[in-house]
Structure 1
Amino acid sequence: MAEVVLKKVVKTYPNGFKAVHGIDLHIKDGEFMVFVGPSGCAKSTTLRMVAGLEEITGGEIWIGDKCVNEIPPKDRGIAMVFQNYALYPHMSVYDNMAFGLKLQKTPKEEIDRRVMDAAEKLEITELLDRKPKEMSGGQRQRVAVGRAIVRKPEVFLFDEPLSNLDAKLRVSMRVRIAQLHEQLKQEGQPATMIYVTHDQVEAMTMGDRICVLNYGKIMQVDTPINLYSKPANKFVAGFIGAPAMNLLAAELVNEGGKVAVKLPEILLHLPKEKANKVKGYVGKKIWFGIRPEHIGSYETHPDKEEYANGEVTVIEQLGNEEFIYFTIGGIQYIARLDSMKVQNISKGKGCKFWFDMNKCHFFDFESEENISL
């Protein structure tokens, strides 16, 4: 068993600053859990508390069936992969990977078997005689991962391991780590992984579940698809997704017997099902949210009844799609449109935009909780 359970975990520094506010989290055996959030949200602090590198002020951390609050890092059954690789520069790749096993007095034949097995998994067999300075950043990071694998830990901890790599290498390494997780599970080895990143693309593509943190509090823990389509609150809605969700202060009104969203120079009527969920907020101020891909133009959706007239200010062309920035009533919106379907949209000109009100979100103005789920 390699479950990781955090029970009301608190971290307060000597100066009184409270970094972590009573976190409760259950990470399942064999799960790939990603911690994501903005800088300063305590994701690395939380990971370091699990590792034993950061002392906890309150609560309990359990790994398997043991409370590890008083257990030193080396005895917690964890292996950590750092952002800066942390390899010994004077040692070969083989010796870097074998070092921890030698300290544990593991038999030489077993060390050799484990190192060769890990090297094969990560495709670094031909690098075993090299020193770290003779390798690229991506190769060094694979060695750091290999060093973790050979220890056969109960839990793997990754602290922003790819942030020093270029964009192309990051993609290949995140695929490699995701494949490794699946491979270890299939081989019956412990494969619980906790991965810290500030990159939401990494989080969305790698995690079985994602824990979104902000100011030391958990905002939501869910699958990537649920975080994206059913954000629990305004913070998660705005943080997950690129480009970010359009989020605007608005008012819900009753217009001709129908519930509508009132924005500067726009009135958008809600379909019946959506209206029923938020009718208790009619006459109140709310936050209105809609993702860029849920805004279309007259060109992409010529058969709709309700359009809003906007002025295009910026067009970002990405080949297969375009990000269209436009203003209505002095408010800027962003739409994500298929390049093949928008031949006549140009900067500085007017355009009719359509809002898919079946896909929009509403958040309580004060609590910022999603009221449209």
Structure 2
Amino acid sequence: MAEVVLKKVEKVYPNGFKAVHGIDLHIKDGEFMVFVGPSGCAKSTTLRMVAGLEEITGGEIWIGDKCVNELPPKDRGIAMVFQNYALYPHMTVYDNMAFGLKLQKTPKDEIDRRVRDAAEKLEITDLLDRKPKEMSGGQRQRVAVGRAIVRDPDVFLFDEPLSNLDAKLRVSMRVRISQLHQQLKKEGKNPTTIYVTHDQVEAMTMGDRICVLNYGKIMQVDTPINLYAKPANKFVAGFIGAPAMNIHEAELIMDKDKIAVKVAGLVLHLPEAKAQKVKRYVGKKVWFGIRPEHIKSSETNPNKEEYVTGKITVVEQLGNEEFVYFHVSGTEYISRLDPMKVQGVAREKKYDFWFDLDKCHLFDFESEENISL
């Protein structure tokens, strides 16, 4: 396998639109890297440039020790799995998986060994004689993955491979792909994988690291837990996490000799450690962010002095948790509560919450960079 390095990679279309803005990225040998971001952020365009399906207009792409800018896709040592499966409808599963190897004039016994080995890994051995129209979407996607595996590439590329599947199948397939990656590692193949998705749950559960993109720029590259707990900027904070982080315009002020956040009628005093990090912003506008699970019921922490009373507008009950939407001075917040630990949460009621300000985030109002890390 091989590392993938992007150096100042750009994509400018003939009409002058700049889709990718000088991306620098180092994907380590054997790493599972996920590209995630909203529609139009250039994640698929970047993947297609790595594959050689999209011409780059600036910078360099390296796979292993080769600069592949001028190499056609077939010579880059990559295998790609597409969103729409891209199977040959007139061929059996076996022939679909074997087709690329036949073009490479691989010996028949080696083709058979690779196809049956991949089919066993993906639990599709009993489908080898079927044609694509005789299978479900999930089965077809497994075949598409198997076709990539048999080529034994340096790099696997996945372009939103699960977006056409229903919710239950997406879960089972993302688990299968993650298991496959680990299994290949144990066999010493150390697969380098780039996986594109718009689904942050896929990104958080599958990636060794995640590259968050927006408008053709990298917002942050980090492990899933660091992206969630230590977002580098307001965009990452708002994009990663479901429900999304509560983010509102605020001002840092001095109140009772303490640094506090003044946000939509509330004055929230910051813990000393957090206050010291942002004291240079006192008197300035900032963005205040706090995740739903860090807005808690006052019942769960009776030692807290500062309660926030809000009027509940919606309660979404999910069994093991509930999302509570409430208003304070006309501003909406979302809280994630444990229904087993709280009482009396109901629509149109007033309820006392407390904000765990040790876990809040503050962002520069102009640059939107996180100033509280």
User: In which range does the TM-score fall when normalised by the shorter chain?
Assistant: over 0.9
2:264 & 2:363 partners in 1: Cα distance?
A: 18
The SS at the match of 1:170 is helix
Distance 1:74 1:190, change over 3 A: farther
**What is the alpha-carbon distance in structure 1 between the residues aligned to residue 277 and residue 95 of structure 2?**
61
Q: In the alignment, does 2:120 pair up with 1:120? A: yes
Matched, 1:234 2:225: no
Q: Map 1:226-305; keep pairs closer than 5 Å.
A: 226-305=226-305
Corresponding residue SS for 1:358: helix
Decide whether the 8 Å contact of 1:77 with 1:155 is kept in 2. Answer: yes
Counterpart in 2 of 1:319?
319
Matching residue's letter, 2:151? R
Deviation per residue, 1:203-242 (Å, 9 max, x gap): 0000000000000000000000000000000000000000
Instruction: Deviation per CA, 1:323-356: give whole Å up to 9, x if none.
Output: 0000001000000000112221111011111000
Q: Could you tell me which residue of structure 2 aligns to residue 351 of structure 1?
A: 351
What amino acid is the match of 1:68? V
- The alpha-carbon deviation at position 96 of structure 1 amounts to 0.2
**AA matched with 1:155:** V
State the TM-score, normalizing by the size of structure 1.
0.99
C-alpha distance after superposition, 1:235-285 (max 9, x if no partner):
000000000000000001111110011112211101110000000001100
CA contact (8 A) 1:153 1:190 kept: no
2:105 maps to what in 1?
A: 105
Q: TM-score, normalised by structure 2?
A: 0.99
Supply the AA of the counterpart residue of 2:337.
L
How far is the alpha carbon of 1:190 from its aligned partner? 4.1
- The answer to whether 1:65 aligns with 2:71 is no
| Gap runs ≥5 in structure 2 | none
For the residue of structure 2 that corresponds to 1:341, the secondary structure is coil
Between the aligned partners of 2:83 and 2:343, the Cα distance in structure 1 is 44
Aligned residues of 1:322 and 1:337 also touching (Cα < 8 A): yes
Q: Residue 360 of structure 1 corresponds to which residue in structure 2?
A: 360
| Partner Cα separation in structure 1 for residue 229 and residue 241 of structure 2 | 10
Determine the C-alpha separation between the residues in 2 that align with 1:327 and 1:304: 20
Mapped to 1, the partners of 2:36 and 2:365 lie a distance apart of 24
Match of 1:89 in 2: 89
State the distance in 1 between where 2:107 and 2:297 align. Answer: 67
Task: Identify the residue that residue 223 of structure 1 maps to in structure 2.
Answer: 223
State the identity %. Answer: 83
Q: Distance in 1 between matches of 2:108 and 2:181?
A: 26
**Structure 1 range deviating more: 343-352 or 119-128:** 343-352
Q: Measure the CA separation in 2 of the matches of 1:265 and 1:297.
A: 19
Q: Give the 3-state SS of the residue equivalent to 2:40 in structure 1.
A: coil
Q: In structure 1, what is the Cα distance between the partners aligned to 2:303 and 2:256?
A: 23
Shift, 1:291, TM fit: 0.1
1:121 & 1:16 partners in 2: Cα distance?
46
Letter of the 1:219 partner, please give it: M
Count of equivalent residues:
373
Do the aligned partners of 1:154 and 1:190 also contact (CA within 8 Å) in 2?
no
* CA distance in 2: counterparts of 1:264 and 1:74, whole angstroms: 57
- In structure 1, the partner of 2:187 is 187
Shift of 1:108: 0.2
Matches within 5 A, 1:205-220: 205-220=205-220
CA distance in 2, matches of 1:117, 1:272: 59
Q: Does 1:46 align with 2:51?
A: no
Matched residue type, 1:89: P
Q: SS of the residue aligned with 1:106?
A: coil
What code does the residue aligned with 1:294 have? Answer: H
Root mean square deviation of aligned Cα: 0.6
Report the secondary structure of 1:302's partner residue.
coil
